[in-house]
Amino acid sequence: MKRAMMIFDEYRLKPFFANATLHLGRIYLHSEKKQKALQNLQKAEALFKEMSMDYWLARTYAVYTELHMRKGDKPKARDRLSKAIDILKKCGADGWVQKYEGEMATL
């Protein structure tokens, strides 16, 4: 994965690099490496904002939600999931909106 990310970065394939960074953050989260997960999510968030890739920004916020839940911080988890839902509504991603609204009800 790191080699692929180096290639994406080297050839200025920023959208692929940002997406790989998001997925790496998710992998670290599931490996219980929360600090590395946070670092990658922050990097992905900044890149998606810079490129105005709102759909992927929302998906990043959804992963943040899981991170905050694992840390036991429900207010931050709700905030991130709320941001994800708002962005996805604007994107017309109704399936994801329904999924995350269901998750919000359980928080």
Q: What is the pLDDT of residue 13?
A: 72
The reported pTM is 0.87
> Structurally, how many domains does the chain consist of?
1
Over residues 48-53, mean pLDDT:
93
Residue range of the domain that includes 52: 2-106
CA distance 34 to 71: 9
Token pair listed for 92 = 């017309």
pLDDT in tens, 66-107: 999 999 999 999 999 999 999 999 999 999 999 999 999 998
Does residue 10 contact residue 48 with C-beta atoms inside 8 Å?
no
What share of the chain has pLDDT > 70, as a percent? Answer: 89
* Averaged pLDDT score across all residues of the chain: 91
Determine the residue type at 36. K
Closest CA to 19 of 35, 33, 39, 40: 40
Evaluate if residue 10 carries a pLDDT over 70: no
CATH number for the domain spanning 89: value is 1.25.40.10
CA distance 106 to 12: 40
CA distance 35 to 56: 21
> What's the pLDDT band for 4 if we cut at 50, 70, 90?
low
